[in-house]
Amino acid sequence: MLRWTCYPCTVGQVVHTLPEGEEVRGVTSLADVVYVLRNKERDQVEVYDVINYCLQRRLTVPNIGVLTDMISCEHYRCVYIGDDGGKCIHRLDVQGAATQWAVNDKPRGISVNAAHNVLVTCRDVRKIKEFSSHGDLLRELPLPDDVINPYHAIQTRNGEFIVCHGVLSDAVHRVCKISPDGRHVIKSHGGQPGSDIGQYLVPAHLAVDNNEFVFVVDLGNRRVTLLSPTLDYIRQVVSRDNLKGRPDRLCRDIHRRRLYVSDNESIATGRVVVFNV
């Protein structure tokens, strides 16, 4: 039986802001560190401790192209980085050793499922591709016809997928729960783009806690929304008052009840804001 977490009715509290630098293209946590992915030619990955948020080191990913996302895997103790330009995924272990493998489509959002496999959302072809940790293609799932421009997908424990989709020019911006075979939308939240509590303006990234509550980055409205496991609206956890720029990536640290949210003002200026949620 699913035990629901009781979230307070207040917005998340800012506990820290990581140093400003180049645009943030991804953020994730692993063990006692936070990884921040920056849009630059070298030292793309910054590693901070999770207690004092002090910079520990920087890592360079060789042959990097256009960065799109980053996710960690506790089981394999590594992080994965999406590369739009190279149509590939870079795998970086905790010692900094890097390898890569082909996706053969442009990756947008990436996540790791309960089987420790990598789910790659390919927006242009409207597919989710599942890979092993070392890049073996396990399956491809075409998404339903009405899921246009998918940004990010996360798989729940029962095999269903949570997918966010919609760019500015689209008529529908929403978060969907999709059947395990990828064919049917079971439930959705959102619809016509807008700023009301039941609407989004480019839902760009997702995070799920251990009870499968869903955090949604709403890029155009500059906020983060919390949904129940059945995709019912609960509350806003991050508001535009907490941010200087646009949020488009986030990570949930389940153990510490932290939410890491990217906050980008431009290609040259970005940071990560840490919330207690």
Q: Name the DSSP letter for residue 174.
A: E
Q: Pick the closest to residue 259 from 4, 29, 73 (CA basis).
A: 29
The pLDDT of residue 3: 46
Residue (of 82, 39, 31) closest to 205 by Cα position: 82
| Residue 194: burial class (beta carbons within 10 Å; 0-12, 13-18, 19+) | middle
pLDDT at 7: 55
User: Minimal CA–CA distance to 214: which of 194, 243, 235?
Assistant: 235
Q: Are 64 and 90 in contact (CB under 8 A)?
A: yes
Q: Residue 234 is encoded by which pair of tokens?
A: 């609960």
Task: Confirm if 181 and 141 have CB atoms less than 8 A apart.
Answer: yes
Q: pLDDT tens digits for the chain (277 residues)?
A: 344 455 544 578 999 999 999 999 999 999 899 999 999 999 999 999 999 999 999 999 999 999 999 999 999 999 999 999 999 999 999 888 999 999 999 999 999 999 999 999 999 999 999 999 999 999 999 999 999 999 999 999 999 999 999 999 999 999 999 999 999 999 999 999 999 999 999 999 999 999 999 999 999 999 999 999 999 999 999 999 999 999 999 999 998 999 999 999 988 899 999 999 8
Q: Tell me whether residue 156 is exposed, middle or buried, using C-beta atoms within 10 angstroms of its C-beta: 0 to 12, 13 to 18, 19 or more.
A: middle
The full set of domains in the chain, from first to last, is 154-242 (2.40.10)
